[in-house]
Amino acid sequence: MGRPRAFDEDEAVRAAVELFGGRAYDGVSVDDLVGHLGVHRNSLYKTFGSKRGLYLIALRRHLADDVRPLLDALGGAPDAAAVLRLVTAADLRLLLLATVERAPVDEEVASEVTAALAAVDRAIAGALGVPADLAAALTATALGILLRGNPGNVATALTRHLDPLP
């Protein structure tokens, strides 16, 4: 019989979301995970299988904890400016990093990212009553604002011009 787990798996996954969201998959080593999560290397492998295994669990947690509430909030967005404010205020760092770093080389990550972005598009289209292509353009715009690193100022400037849109 093995020893009882000496760490809280839920806390470890939350810490992994923060670490991967701040430094991306390739920017995090197994040693970084062991140090940041406070787990032994053997425990990490036994519990999560691999760095990639932990990454996928962390990505799914991020989608559930950060993207899902955004979808709910977007459902009540009255206009395009509100959509931009909601998306640019959300913590989507891991989603963005997964989109540009891992999705092109990992089919499972690509599937998760594609589904999440499509859900954002649908939430925007439903809230605003706009076609899917316009909703996708608003999603891309909002995510681009986040990538610029100054979402407050850029979104504020842009929303002034979006007030006439639904």
What digits encode the pLDDT tens for the residues 12-23? 999 999 999 999
Instruction: State residue 23's pLDDT score.
Output: 96
pLDDT given at position 81? 84
pLDDT at 84 over 90: no
| Banded model confidence at residue 150, pLDDT cuts 50, 70, 90 | low
Six token digits for residue 108: 């499972």
pLDDT the model gives residue 7? 79
Cβ neighbours, 10 Å, residue 100:
11
What mean pLDDT do residues 139-161 have?
76
Within 8 A by CB and 6+ apart from 7, the residues are 37, 38, 39, 43
In sequence order, the 6+-apart residues with CB closer than 8 A to the CB of 20 are 28, 55, 58, 59, 94, 97
Evaluate if residue 154 carries a pLDDT over 80. Answer: no
Task: Say yes or no to pLDDT of 102 above 80.
Answer: yes
